Amino acid sequence: MTTDDTPTRAVAVLVVIFTVESGKLRVLLIRRSAEPFKDAWSLPGGLLQEGDSLLDAATRRLDVETGVSDVFLEQLYTFSGLGDRDSVDVAYWALVDGGSARLARRDEWQPAWSNVGDLPDLAFRNRDVVEYALGRLKNKLAYSNVAYSLLPREFTLSQLQQAYEAILATTLDKRNFRKRILTLGILEETGATAGEGRHRPAKLYRFRERRPVMF
């Protein structure tokens, strides 16, 4: 209780972790091993511990679940009344390169990637949180280089376009996409090439900045 006899509310930190794999946008979910919602899927997170900052808690959860931490991570929104928990839920969202992520191995509270377009039933109204994060991602894609965190350090323009198409859930015109992305000045050629099937080798690019940059 506080000094004015108003009940305090617990603070929980959730992390919406997106990746792009096989042309699909995916989000990391955890299968719950305890009530409430035992055996249901939910976003990774937990109650804020004494002495923790919100960012420290989100960063640690990201590292525990995926083995990476030097990626895009941003506070998303503060939710209240998710499900039946009497807590304030502070959500963060992150973008990771699936090729670099190493999901935690454990017998309980097992993590798994799920296609955003085909989510199972989620505990604690977590679907609302995922949809909110997806809206933020789509908006941010229009005016920033945020896709850098979904790709390896060197990539082809086809790989970059696939990431955009997975997020936007639409097919983009190849010529228009390449013209626009190259005129933004956020990429640079590496001087190397990569084979893409039967086609001639494709140029490899990298982001000039692997940190959020607006354009």
Question: Is residue 2 assigned to a domain?
Answer: no
String of b and e for 76-97 (b: at least 16 CB within 10 Å)? beebeebeebebbbbbbbbbbb
Q: Rounded to whole angstroms, how far apart are CA atoms 182 and 142?
A: 14
Query: Which of 59, 45, 55, 61 is closest to 12 using CA atoms?
Result: 45
> Which residues pair with residue 87 across a beta bridge?
10
Q: 38 and 88, same structural domain?
A: yes
Q: Is the pLDDT of residue 201 over 70?
A: yes
- Chain-wide mean pLDDT for the chain? 93
Q: Is 18 helix (H, G, I), strand (E, B) or coil?
A: strand
Instruction: Out of 126, 141, 156, pick the residue that ends a domain.
Output: 141
Q: Where are the beta strands (DSSP E) in the chain?
A: 10-21, 24-31, 41-42, 45-47, 72-80, 87-95, 111-115, 187-196, 199-207
CATH number at residue 87: 3.90.79.10
Task: List all residues 6 or more positions away from 41 whose beta carbon is below 8 Å from its beta carbon.
Answer: 29, 30, 31, 32, 114, 119, 120, 121, 122, 123, 126
In this prediction, residue 2 has a pLDDT band, given cuts at 50, 70 and 90, of very low
Q: Which domain holds residue 49?
A: 10-141
Q: 172 and 125, same structural domain?
A: no
CATH number at residue 201: 1.10.10.10
> Which residues pair with residue 77 across a beta bridge?
91
Condensed to tens digits (0 to 9), the pLDDT of residues 66-123 reads: 999 999 999 999 998 886 667 899 999 999 999 999 999 999 999 999 999 999 999 9
Share of the chain above pLDDT 90, in %: 88
Q: 91 and 37, same structural domain?
A: yes
Question: Is residue 192 assigned to a domain?
Answer: yes
Q: Is the pLDDT of residue 198 over 80?
A: no
Q: Model pTM?
A: 0.93
Question: Is residue 68 assigned to a domain?
Answer: yes
Q: 105 and 193, same structural domain?
A: no
Question: Is residue 39 assigned to a domain?
Answer: yes
Q: 150 and 137, same structural domain?
A: no
The total of structural domains in the chain comes to 2
Share of the chain above pLDDT 70, in %: 93
Q: 108 and 191, same structural domain?
A: no
Q: Is the pLDDT of residue 3 over 80?
A: no
Give the model's pLDDT for residue 82.
85
Q: Is the pLDDT of residue 1 over 60?
A: no
Task: Tell me if 72 sits within 8 A of 140, measured CB to CB.
Answer: no
